[in-house]
Chains A and B, each alone.
Chain A
């Protein structure tokens, strides 16, 4: 029971901090002080207190977008084990639901964007679904490798697989899958080199442009949901990248928090030292992620 409470608490409270850490890292590289670590929380509180503006052309789909996205992200968060903690919701085959919860969220985000009728948002939706077509296979192949290695179709068992100990033959596939998952994480959470979350240039945006018309609490929900998405995908990656556990709950939880914050620093570092890709080169990177995961699979089944 305690573990479940910790799991839910981590899932609800920790995600915005990742954005705070990324922001601090980028500020450090730029030689600035940067916003406070807790700025994302302040932003959420600020947005929650604002009123909303709705375009007359929009329908219920526009309002449902952020709500569905947040719900999907939260449910996905309950299905993924955080560090050594088992996930509160687990059943055989839950990895399919897990992957398609993101699909559902995407469907509603893009529909809400199209609902505004703005050419920018249409452009963003087109880009989002195009790139999603390329990240989805990578995610599936990665889960497939883990399922094959652990012999389970339940996310908790499958992701805890690496920590239970593998034969040395598993190392190479896991490294490849780790790289693939990291690219998926960057693409799905709209970070450089795929997207630039800080740009103000509508014509270059992918994800941000789809939520331009959302305001106030609904926009806060979008920000919160995207931080949860990063948190969830980050947790998946950590199972592959740092498959260690001590067995002591509190140490494992602290270890997990440190790991995920380190991951944020890594993402912030990547954003600071490279430019984003030209839009037409993004698919190459995503296909590379798929290739990494499929080579991992090949190595495993050969």
Chain B
């Protein structure tokens, strides 16, 4: 216990020193004289969202990775107001309520969520696939395990000893960290992200045994997640999001725990956070369903080879048809399709 505690102390001290002064444009914000920084956010996010349209098709996935790296950098250095997936919802509410009273503050809080929603409604849900740092983190972690994930998916996500061991290890990490937290500090509402990591652990156990059958039903958890955060925003709770601590100056062990849980979860199940728990994903999915840009399959050229199914990280493609509610628009399916049956189309007319 004592060893664990000293180790944890050292780790959190190291994290603190590593992420000190991470916001370079700190000075510009201090007085909030103008809307300088937030306009930069708007510009940066807007440009990142446009990039998927203009990159050449030949090395698109490489550009996507690059874009994700830029996304992480921008969220670390430029975007102030994105307090992770949870904070964005809360800030949106707060910003909307400030319109007419403090318009600059309203811009400060609304700029990120509105930019993300707007770009998702026009250019498709590219935020998830091309920019989102949480998604990028999970994807990068899973790169070395690509083959394992594909094999597992092909076999219908069987419950193997390796999976069980990994799940057990993740649980041990969670329990150890919780034990450390419980002896070192008092819990606040802010630390409620711990509940999300708890749910993640439970989810991992469920997924280890019943992934193939329960996958679809469990995705509805995103709604629950969204409802809780939205209700919390109205009621004035602050809940720290996972993958939040790097993006604003919160060096909070509870937040670090939830981040680590997301990363470890993504090792076992690709994009686990996006699939089952991300509350913001639900709004982007809504925006994406109304978006101009979407993926269409020409079934006459589709040979049912199943490559697009296996390459999709969130299992949004089924027999060549893309589910717009789950699609992250990473365009992997478009790039792997040998007959070019899946393509991007712009549809400006809305069917009634």
Bound pair: A and B? no
